[in-house]
Amino acid sequence: MNKFHTPVLLKEVIGFLQVKKGKKYIDATLGGAGHTEEVLRLGGIVLGIDVDEDALEFVKKNFKFQISNSELLPVKGNFRDLNKIARLNNFDKVSGILFDLGVSSFQIDSGQRGFSFSKGGPLDMRMDKDLSVTARDLINSLPKGELYEIFYKLGEEHNARAISNSIVSARRISPIETTGDLSGIIQQAYGIKGEVTDFTRAKLNKRVFQALRIAVNDELEAVSEALPKCLEILEAGGRIAVISFHSLEDRIVKQNFIKFQKDGMGEIITKKPVTADTEEQRINTRSRSAKLRVFEKK
């Protein structure tokens, strides 16, 4: 187990992937390779994709043996190009594909990446540092109506109107640069003065931070594009496993799997999403919102 990120629903994912020795798998969200480590241990060969150079660097340092043995191939890329990346790397027929969506603990915990309202840092939020638009750019340049749409639609933030008004007023005075600046503005829009507890801060900020992160990284579109591409590279009997962390993502996964099944492409294995057991939820708070869905290609 590594400190980079604790994998969620590990035993469930591994059970559903039915890993076999010498078979090929794609981890479309490699992160700290928590899930991949187990696939490798069971003899699978893994193409690990991530947009984040920091994640790839971590994996290259910590999995030298498996990489030199050609058991693991870490590659920089966006899973929206999954089929292209797979073919380029000789993974054109695979037995399983995993998506563990969202950000890793490492990304959240690095203040400089700007994902966290509880860590000071620049308003960045790019998973892929090659992207040109940051959260700062969106916050300081989008019209009020577009900010409202982002907060309301991607964060399901009920106070989206007041928050977008407060942002536009604040940026007239000076640019909004940091996670702390934004957090202060959100607090003000809620009419709360003075110091707040960590619990209250999380309650006030999490929806806006989630919405901005999704917008900066175009996360929903990337998942929508990637899922149908999995069918091109999965062999018969191969499985797609997706772990999502909020209802917007989960809806996309559910609807895609229903469509695949209707189109006669295979079968939904998880009639209901699988969630973490009470022990995992106790140990790893991040697992509490996790939902796993699995589809098997015919």
Ligand X SMILES: C[S@@+](CC[C@H](N)C(=O)[O-])C[C@H]1O[C@@H](n2cnc3c(N)ncnc32)[C@H](O)[C@@H]1O
Contact positions vs ligand X (CB under 6 A): 5, 7, 29, 31-35, 49-52, 55, 78-80, 100, 102-104, 127, 222
Q: Which is nearer to ligand X, 41 or 144 (CB)?
A: 41
Q: Which is nearer to ligand X, 96 or 102 (CB)?
A: 102
Q: What is the closest distance, in whole angstroms, from the C-beta atom of residue 13 to ligand X in the complex?
A: 9
Q: What is the closest distance, in whole angstroms, from the C-beta atom of residue 288 to ligand X in the complex?
A: 14
Q: What is the closest distance, in whole angstroms, from the C-beta atom of residue 100 to ligand X in the complex?
A: 4
Instruction: Give the sheet arrangement for strand 291-297, strand by strand.
Output: 72-76, 45-50, 24-27, 94-100, 234-244, 291-297, 266-268
Place of tokens 């043995």: 69
Q: Which is nearer to ligand X, 17 or 33 (CB)?
A: 33
Q: Which is nearer to ligand X, 8 or 185 (CB)?
A: 8
Q: Is 47 helix (H, G, I), strand (E, B) or coil?
A: strand
Q: What is the closest distance, in whole angstroms, from the C-beta atom of residue 173 to ligand X in the complex?
A: 34
Taking CB atoms within 8 Å and a gap of at least 24, the contacts of 37-46 are 37/2, 37/63, 38/7, 38/10, 38/14, 39/14, 39/96, 40/66, 40/71, 40/72, 42/14, 43/19, 44/17, 44/19, 44/20, 44/95, 44/96, 45/70, 45/71, 45/72, 46/71, 46/72, 46/73
Q: What is the closest distance, in whole angstroms, from the C-beta atom of residue 159 to ligand X in the complex?
A: 27
Q: What is the closest distance, in whole angstroms, from the C-beta atom of residue 127 to ligand X in the complex?
A: 4
Count of Cβ atoms closer than 10 Å to residue 208 Cβ: 27
Q: Which is nearer to ligand X, 110 or 188 (CB)?
A: 110
Residue 39: closest CA among 67, 22, 4, 14: 14
Q: Which is nearer to ligand X, 66 or 159 (CB)?
A: 66
